[in-house]
Structure formats: structure tokens, C-alpha cells
Amino acid sequence: MVKRVRGSTTGRPIMALLDLLGRRWTLRIVWELREEPKRFRELQDLTGASPTIVNTRLAELREAKLVELDDATGYRLTALGNELLRLFLPLHVWSEKWAKATA
């Protein structure tokens, strides 16, 4: 497994971030963790992704220090991950507007 981030040879953090978030299920998983911690299988059921992918994405997110595993409660966002999520929260509102515009 390659460590280097795809398409981001520039070394610019924003590129690495866009690459990380631009992977199937990554954004969705972060989103599902927005409120309460979730178990591995919960994330599986909620997203509908295969365990292979859930595991891979969780590993990437953990390495990126956006997600951590608390044995007692499950996977949850780190402080850093929460900051990121907060940047994404306006998307929820905006997506409603977008849905109307594209309908």
C-alpha cells in the first residue's frame, strides 16, 4: 500500500487534504461520525460500504488524526476531525438549496 497521497506530489497540504477527502466513503464516514461515536459495523450498515473499505478508510482517517477509536464507545472524531467537520456543516443547509436548483 502506497503511503504517498494520490495526485498530490506538490506537497501542498490542501492537495493532500482534497485527495484524502476525495476518496469513496471518506466524506460520508466523517459525516456519520458528526454526532455520536459509531461502531465498525454501524458505519458499515449506515454507509453500505464493504468492511474492506470501511476498514481502509478508517485506517487512513486515523493516520490523518481525524478519527480515533475509543474502545468503550467506538470510532469518533478527534479534536482535529471535529474542526474539519465544522467546516463542512454549512454543506447540509446548502445541499438543500442545491437539490432544488438541480431538480
Partner DNA sequence: ACGGCTTGCTACATATTCCGTAGCAACAGG
Partner DNA sequence: CCTGTTGCTACGGAATATGTAGCAAGCCGT
Q: Which residues bind DNA (CB under 7 A)?
A: 2, 6-7, 23-25, 39-41, 48-53, 55-56, 58, 69, 74-75
Residue 63 or 83: which CB sits closer to DNA? 63
Nearest 5°: phi and psi at 53? Answer: -70, -45
Question: Which of the choices a second copy, DNA, none does residue 41 contact, using the CB cut-off of 5 to 8 A by kind?
Answer: DNA
- Residue 79 is placed in which grid cell? 479534536
Beta carbon of residue 2, minimum distance to DNA (angstroms, whole number):
6
Show contacts of 24-28: CB within 8 Å, 24+ apart.
Answer: 24/49, 24/53, 25/49, 25/53, 25/54, 25/57, 26/57, 26/60, 26/61, 27/88
Query: Rounded to whole angstroms, how far apart are CA atoms 34 and 31?
Result: 5
Residue 3 or 97: which CB sits closer to DNA? 3
Beta carbon of residue 81, minimum distance to DNA (angstroms, whole number):
16
Beta carbon of residue 65, minimum distance to DNA (angstroms, whole number):
15
Residue 6 or 92: which CB sits closer to DNA? 6
